[in-house]
C-alpha cells in the first residue's frame, strides 16, 4: 500500500521553499529600494560647486571658474593679472620648465621682446618651476609659492629685451609692465 501522507508533505515542502524564496527576494528588493532612495536624497542635498549663469535663451551654462585669471594650462596654475597688464602672452621654453612672458604691445614695439622669438630674451621675464625635491635655482630668481609639489620662481631675465637708447616706447612699456607682471604672479595658485 502506498503512503499518501508522505507525498502530501513533500509537495508542501516545495511550496514553503518557493514562498521563502519569494520573501527573501522581496526583502532584498525593499532594502535595495530604500538604500537607493537614501542615496538619491543625499546626492540632491550636496551643493554643486560649479556655478551657472543664464545665457540669452534663458538656459543656464557652467561659468568658467578661471574667468578673469591668466591660466598656464601646461602646469595647471593661474594668476590674476593686475589692471593694466593687457595682452599678456607666454611661451613654454626649456622642455616646459619655464614660461616666458610678453605682451602683444611690447612685442610689437620691439621684436626682441617677443618671447616666442629665438632671441632668448624673455620679454617681461619668466616663471620657472622645479619639483620640490629637485635642485633649485641658485641666484637671480625670486621664490613665489609652492603648488602641488612644485616650487615656482620669477626671473627677470639676464638682459633687457629693449635697448633704451634706440627704442624709448619699448623701454617705457617694459618698465611699467614688468612690475605689473611681478605683482600679478604673487597671486599664483592652482587652476580650478
Q: What pLDDT sits at residue 48?
A: 32
Mean pLDDT computed over every residue of the chain: 78
Q: What pLDDT sits at residue 151?
A: 93
Q: Which residue has the higher pLDDT, 36 or 34?
A: 34
| φ and ψ of 39, to 5 deg | -60, -45
Q: For 173-184, what is each residue's pLDDT tens digit?
A: 888 888 899 999
Residue 189 has pLDDT above 80, yes or no: yes
Q: For 143-167, what is each residue's pLDDT tens digit?
A: 999 999 999 999 876 556 766 667 7
How far apart are the C-alpha atoms of 22 and 11, rounded to whole Å?
17
How far apart are the C-alpha atoms of 105 and 113, rounded to whole Å?
10
Residue 42 has pLDDT above 60, yes or no: no
Q: Which residue has the higher pLDDT, 149 or 33?
A: 149
| φ and ψ of 98, to 5 deg | -145, 135
Q: Do residues 101 and 128 make contact, with C-beta atoms less than 8 angstroms apart?
A: no
Split at pLDDT 50, 70, 90, the class of 50 is: very low
| φ and ψ of 48, to 5 deg | -85, 125
Residue 88 has pLDDT above 70, yes or no: yes
Split at pLDDT 50, 70, 90, the class of 45 is: very low
Residue 191 has pLDDT above 80, yes or no: yes
Q: Of 149, 155, 153, which is closest to residue 131 (Cα–Cα)?
A: 149
Split at pLDDT 50, 70, 90, the class of 46 is: very low
Q: Which residue has the higher pLDDT, 106 or 47?
A: 106
Residue 171 has pLDDT above 80, yes or no: yes
Amino acid at each position: 500500500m502506498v503512503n499518501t501522507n508522505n507525498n502530501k508533505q513533500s509537495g508542501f515542502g516545495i511550496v514553503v521553499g518557493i514562498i521563502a524564496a519569494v520573501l527573501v527576494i522581496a526583502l532584498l528588493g525593499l532594502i535595495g529600494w530604500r538604500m537607493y532612495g537614501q542615496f538619491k536624497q543625499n546626492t540632491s542635498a550636496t551643493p554643486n560647486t560649479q556655478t551657472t549663469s543664464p545665457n540669452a535663451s534663458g538656459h543656464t551654462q557652467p561659468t568658467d571658474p578661471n574667468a578673469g585669471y591668466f591660466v598656464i594650462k601646461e602646469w595647471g596654475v593661474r594668476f590674476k593679472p593686475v589692471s593694466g597688464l593687457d595682452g599678456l602672452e607666454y611661451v613654454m621654453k626649456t622642455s616646459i620648465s619655464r614660461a616666458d612672458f610678453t605682451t602683444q604691445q611690447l612685442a610689437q614695439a620691439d621684436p626682441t621682446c617677443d618671447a616666442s622669438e629665438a632671441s632668448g630674451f624673455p620679454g617681461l621675464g619668466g616663471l620657472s618651476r622645479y619639483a620640490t625635491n629637485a635642485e633649485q635655482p641658485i641666484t637671480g630668481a625670486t621664490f613665489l609659492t609652492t603648488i602641488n609639489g612644485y616650487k615656482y620662481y620669477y626671473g627677470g631675465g639676464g638682459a633687457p629685451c629693449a635697448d633704451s637708447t634706440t627704442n624709448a616706447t619699448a623701454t617705457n612699456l617694459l618698465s611699467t609692465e614688468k612690475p605689473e607682471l611681478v605683482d600679478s604672479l604673487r597671486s599664483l595658485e592652482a587652476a580650478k
